[in-house]
Structure 1
Amino acid sequence: MEKLPIDDENSAARRLSQEEAPIYEALKRFRRMRIVPFDVPGHKHGRGNPELVELLGEKCVGIDVNSMKPLDNLCHPVSVIREAEELAAEAFHANHAFLMVGGTTSAVQAMVLSCCKKGDKIILPRNVHRSVINALVLCGAKPVYVNPDVDKNLGISLGMRVSQVEQAIISHPDAVAVLVNNPTYYGICSDLRTIVKLAHDHGMKVLADEAHGTHLYFGENMPVSAMDAGADMSSVSMHKSGGSLTQSSLLLIGSNMNEGHVRQIINLTQTTSGSYLLLSSLDISRRNLALRGRESFAKVIEIADYARGEINAIGGYYAFSRELINGNSIYDFDSTKLSVHTLEIGLAGIEVYDILRDEYDIQIEFGDIGNILAYLSIGDRRQEVERLVSALAEVKRCYQKDKAGMLTQEYMDPYVVTTPQESFYAEKESLPLEATEGRVCSEFVMCYPPGIPILAPGEMITKGIIEYILYAKEKGCSMTGPEDADIEYLNVLKHV
């Protein structure tokens, strides 16, 4: 019987190659063996669940296995998972890389929890993903928000200006970290190198949410990646633009972070039963990007530029790109992002999103009040983009209307009263949405995607926010977060 290799004294010393995929190769060897499973999972290579086999196939369920010595253990990797981490770190220019099976949400939370404890301050833009504020609920750190500039024509929030970050650092010299979106969902990048230097000069760590920036490590003429800019930690959604399975991500760290401490933090919340389907997909996708990423993402940019030209030629739409760069709040732009402003044809982005799905069988990544985002990556081809362009032309011809009375602003400055943790766990009461003006919210309200909170725990509810929520609901935005799924009621603090 063929034996699976386990960790030995020589494994750490041998030179790994980006052409290898250690987890995937170990699973292939495992499949050739006739192992009798008296462990979990209970479907026993699919024999106990034929419908699951029919859905996923024998190959897939056959490698849905539990941690065992020959396949290593995600919580304490010493062999094939450890090798996969080392290869990922090399590919992404990091000191170490952790394979994450709880999505980039778990990676973002591990970043914050690794640097912040109760009472610590962290400087961050308010247009962060909810996972960041969730982490503040868990650890009790205090957010110091840098309110980003807003493009009034597009209605979107931009990056953090260096001067804004500097002022926040001067005003809060006891802050422990600065968090930066790199890039935002819309492709906007801050001046990350300068922010890193500024933070490091003041003894602060820099954390980067690179959920939408996997390709920055492999493409040419792209915005700088977090690791290359000198950031201390970065969360990378391999499953978004990197091609791995949904829910698989990477957490990267620089030389200033303690690998053992970070792994301890990860193990506080990450599963002890890591999916080998997700782990092997990370392994294979890293190899694919390391070997072919540069060429692949050059094609993505070519397709995106072609799409922008065709969409802008329709008239009424605005597919924006690098012309927005101002060297400050838009220091750089991720050209793979195909964001399209729709308000000039009298339709909210979410309305165009719904029409494309319901009438043209085209699924866009998201639609908000004024924009849609078509997420382009290594699996896209020109013919699908041409279908999108044709559909957008028809949507304009068939559905265009007067834009009078439409909301244009996507971002509103928050008024923070208490910390996310204090308000989330405080005594609360439920009130009708329209009756909450002037009260302090104790839960989240957001459109998903992108998952950036309109309201977060501890923030004052204003008339403008109530009007925005009602408008977004009316237009069909997918609203999530509150205890009341219909968002007719909100939980607010009782005594504030």
Structure 2
Amino acid sequence: MNTRLSQHNAPIYEALQDFKSKRIVPFDVPGHKRGRGNPELTAFLGEKCVGIDVNSMKPLDNLCHPVSVIKDAEELAAEAFGAAHAFFMVNGTTSAVQSMVLTACKRGDKIILPRNVHRSVINALVVCGAEPVYVNPDMDYRLGISLGMKISQVEKAIKENPEAKAILVNNPTYYGICSDLQGIVNLAHEHGMLVLVDEAHGTHFYFGENMPITGMAAGADMAAVSMHKSGGSLTQSSFLLMGPAINVGYARQIVNLTQTTSGSYLLLSSLDLSRRNLALNGKEIFKHVMQLSQYARDEINKIGDYYAYSNELINGDSIYDFDATKLSVHTLDIGLAGIEVYDILRDEYDIQIEFGDIGNILAYVSVGDRERDVERLVSALAEIRRRYKADKAGLITQEYIDPQVITTPQYAFYAEKELLPLRETIGRVCSEFVMCYPPGIPILAPGEKITQEIVEYIEYAKEKDCTIIGPEDVEIARLNVLTEVR
């Protein structure tokens, strides 16, 4: 790294500031030419914003092959996160997750992973042809949520699949649950396997105090970090972190297979500035976030019937640790599905939370939140209980259904298929994804058997007005199934 640089620097941001001062005449792309060609867009976003929506050039470096300011910014990010290397990712954490899988696995390789992964992981298996070995997580049947991977489950998967190339771990899950990451890393490395960590919801672990262990601190080989979720950068911007055992040159080639060659300097500079902010102020920021989350939890639990859960769930195994910044709230005891509370908060109280599922809601508390906003949320939840409380009879409680894997995601996705009415697909093998979004964890993935329980779950989710995505049929009235299974 440039020895003149420290965490107080933001090389990309500084280069853009210097670029703006030179008043260079643009005869390159983008065609809006610093906003002059699109006055309506400029008025909407502001001149400062569109003025730095520029193309790669020597003074600003090139994301595909960084040699100057982006290289410096990557090295500062790696230092801040405790990684051997960091890639700036502008195709979202989806791209970072897929790059991890594609770096670790080729066609026919096995990868051990929990089934409650984000769709981006299984998308990567469709692309590269690797074979998933699923660890079906335990369930908390009261809350209706899937938990982390037990060490014993990982040991069993390794014993039965010693040729597997890698293990992927969620750290944390959407709900805040962490597996024993250090234990899994130790096990994997003993057996010559890489560890890939999906830390889409764990950026703050790297900068806060008394947080669950991070992928890099645990010795994982790669980690995908959604800087835009809890780190303050712009949507779609993330980091891909590398440990010392990974060939960075090869990983760069993998990243460049799918990442745009027209990297947005809006996203790049937001990553650069957000990294600087967290490196310098992260402890103080996330101490405040933790206090806000705990205050909200305490107040929500005083309302009655709601359950805002936290560290008391920790059992040292399937819930090895918990991310106490996550404001996850169980809603079924007021007689409403989480998605119903989600809709009421938005439609009647002008409060937009992160998601509602069958039995829970998640309010994302982070760097930009204020105490008065939390108080407004708590008041709204209290009023919703008073206005809508009902008998919970008839509400489904379980969010996760163990899949029956019949064939690989790649084979199923590309195989011959037919489109059938939902009820007629029972007993057949699905060739597409079905998921509620968020959180984007598949109810069905390509290659899995469609059961009556799954169909009833999909029908229930539709009835509760969950946003279901994935299938070719946008009405989710029909699904594509394999015409034959090899």
Structure 2 length normalisation: TM-score?
Answer: 0.99
Aligned amino acid, residue 145 of structure 1: Y
The reply on whether 1:383 has 2:358 as its aligned counterpart is no
Partner of 1:6: none
Amino acid at match of 2:333: E
1:332 aligns with 2:345: no
- Corresponding residue pairs, total: 485
Q: Contact (CA 8 Å) 2:2, 2:72: kept in 1 or not?
A: no
Equivalent position amino acid for 2:289 in 1? V
Query: Is residue 265 of structure 2 the alignment partner of residue 284 of structure 1?
Result: no
Q: Distance between the aligned counterparts of 1:16 and 1:217, measured in 2?
A: 20
CA distance in 1 between partners of 2:465 and 2:8 (Å):
46
Partner of 1:495: 484
Q: Which amino acid aligns with 1:356?
A: L
1:47 equivalent to 2:25? Answer no
SS of the residue corresponding to residue 54 of structure 2 reads: coil
CA offset at residue 13 of structure 1?
A: 4.5
Measure how far apart 1:240 and its partner are.
0.1
Distance in structure 1 (CA, Å) of the matches to 2:90 and 2:2? 27
Amino acid at match of 1:319: A
| 2:291 is aligned with 1:302 | yes
Query: What's 1:441 paired with?
Result: 430
Q: CA RMSD in A?
A: 0.5
Question: Cα deviation per residue 1:222-269 (whole Å; 9 max; x = unaligned)?
Answer: 100000000000000000000000000000000000110000000000
Q: Hey, what does 2:386 align to over in structure 1?
A: 397
CA distance in 1, matches of 2:48, 2:381: 40
**2:244: which partner in 1?**
255
> Corresponding residue for 1:241?
230
Taking the aligned partners of 1:17 and 1:262, their CA distance within structure 2 comes to 26
The amino acid that maps onto 2:7 is: Q
Matching residue within 62, 78, 83 for 1:73: 62
Q: Name the structure 1 match of 2:399.
A: 410
Q: Kindly provide the CA deviation profile for residues 465-484 of structure 1, in whole angstroms up to 9, marking residues without a partner as x.
A: 00000000100100000000
Unaligned runs of 5+ in 2: none
* Displacement of 1:33: 1.0
AA aligned opposite 1:135? A
TM-score with structure 1 setting the length:
0.97
How many Å separate the matches in 1 of 2:123 and 2:99? Answer: 11
**Which secondary structure state, in structure 1, belongs to the residue aligned with residue 229 of structure 2?**
helix
- 1:96 has 2:88 as partner: no
Alignment-derived partner of residue 159 in structure 1: 148
Q: AA paired with 1:22?
A: P
2:445 aligned with 1:461, yes or no? no
The amino acid that maps onto 1:68 is M
Matches of 1:127 and 1:93 in 2, distance apart?
27
Aligned to 1:345: 334
Helix, strand or coil at the partner of 2:216: helix
Aligned residue for 1:424? 413
**Over residues 360-402 of structure 1, what are the superposed CA-to-partner deviations in whole Å (9 max), with x where a residue is unaligned?**
0000100000000000101011110000000000000001111
Q: What stretches of structure 1 move > 2 A for 4+ residues in a row?
A: 12-15
Query: In the aligned structure 2, how far is the partner of 1:77 from the partner of 1:292?
Result: 27
- SS of residue in 2 equivalent to 1:27: helix
Alpha-carbon offset, residue 34 of structure 1: 1.4
Q: CA deviation at 1:14?
A: 2.4
Deviations 1:161-202 (A, max 9, x none): 000000000000000000000000000000000100000000
Contact 2:412 2:431 survives alignment (8 Å): yes
- Residue segments in structure 1 that go unaligned for 5+ positions in a row: 1-11
For the pair 1:210 / 2:163, whether they are aligned, the reply is no
Instruction: Say which SS state the counterpart of residue 217 (structure 2) adopts.
Output: helix
1:85 corresponds to 2:69: no
Partner residue, 1:26? 15
List aligned pairs for 1:355-394, cutoff 5 A. Answer: 355-394=344-383
Percent identical among aligned pairs is 76
What do residues 134-174 of structure 1 show as CA deviations (whole Å, max 9, x unaligned)? 00000000000000000010000000000000000000000
What amino acid is the match of 2:181? L
Between the aligned partners of 1:47 and 1:193, the Cα distance in structure 2 is 53
> Is the counterpart of residue 271 in structure 1 residue 246 in structure 2?
no
State the distance in 2 between where 1:322 and 1:61 align: 44
Counterpart Cα distance in 1 of 2:365 and 2:230? 8
Deviations 1:80-118 (A, max 9, x none): 000000000000000000000000000000000000000
